[in-house]
Amino acid sequence: MIDVVAIVGPTASGKTALSIELAKRLNGEIINGDSMQIYRDMTIGTAKILPEEMAGIPHHLLDIKEPDESFSVAEYQTLVREKIADIRARGKMPIIVGGSGLYVQAVLFDYRFSVEPVDQSLRDSLHQELEEFGPARMHQKLMKLDPQSDIHPNNTRRVVRAVEILMSSDQEKGDRELALSPMYNEAIIGLDIPRDVLYERINQRVDTMVERGLVEEVQALRQRGIREVQSIQAIGYKEIYAYLDGQGSFEEAVVKLKQNSRKYAKRQFTYFKNKLPIFWIDARLDLEKNLEEITAFMQETDRNCRIDKLTANQTQVEK
């Protein structure tokens, strides 16, 4: 039997609408799979689902942190695994929904994080590399380890720390970027969409965000003195912060926001297609058609899970 479902895909691909309808069919509850939607008072820029859009479906791990608090993949992993156990114990299906590939991967697979202090030799090596080649090289290293990182290239201290943590992660089979051993019988659904269609959706979404009050949302954070923290490095916030700080015009900020969102979507596609075993569906298709495809896929996956379990049991008996 399937233990957990995940719906992933790039920004603006239609994950929210699909997740609501799938949750209705599966008696499911939704777990946030977006690294920025965990922050309070950051709704418009993160495209966070509104209460009136939830259709009565319970949503978890939204608005659990203040904007000036830090948050890590390791913390997310712990919280979501606890939430999965709780939802399943109540006889419901946990459905992780979001675009943060590393976060979803860390939950569903045996992705381990070192609890020991970073090895001093590794730290010395990274600082030597930083001194020799500069911050840009170090940020490139981070992006290879975590393509979805939102840490600003100029925040060198946090860049180096993130690289330290990622490089010291204790992965089985010698692969610290991807643990191949699944933690659950999972079904990962991915929304695929042609780039030109997606980029137009992204442009329209940014325009809608501005109309809904993105600038005012960022201004409120700025007035609270929230600066140089993890949350405001997110796309949609750093561009408007720059504008409010006098670094370019409003029009330039919107153009930059659209560009960064499109680049991020491209990185998301790359990560999903290289790192996760995904059943892809066409995001342009009718919602009902996609639900039918997902249902058929899950039934087949359930059947295979039962066969694998019977085979394993039979092997144990023979021994």
- Residue 16 annotated as binding site: yes
65 labelled ligand-binding: no
Distance separating alpha carbons of residues 274 and 178, to the nearest angstrom = 10
Distance of alpha carbon 290 from alpha carbon 288, whole angstroms: 5
**9 assigned binding-site residue:** yes
11 is known to lie in a ligand binding site: yes
Phi/psi of residue 175, each to 5°? -115, 100
Query: What are the residues whose beta carbons fall under 8 Å from the beta carbon of 126, sequence distance 6 or more?
Result: 138, 160, 163, 164, 167
Would you say 319 is a known binding-site residue? no
Token reading at 232: 């405001």
From CA 138, how far away is CA 13, in angstroms rounded? 31
> What CA–CA distance (Å, rounded) separates 250 from 234?
18
Q: Is 13 annotated as a binding residue?
A: yes
- Annotated binding site for ATP: which residue ranges? 9-16
- Annotated binding site for substrate: which residue ranges? 11-16
- Annotated binding site: which residue ranges? 9-16
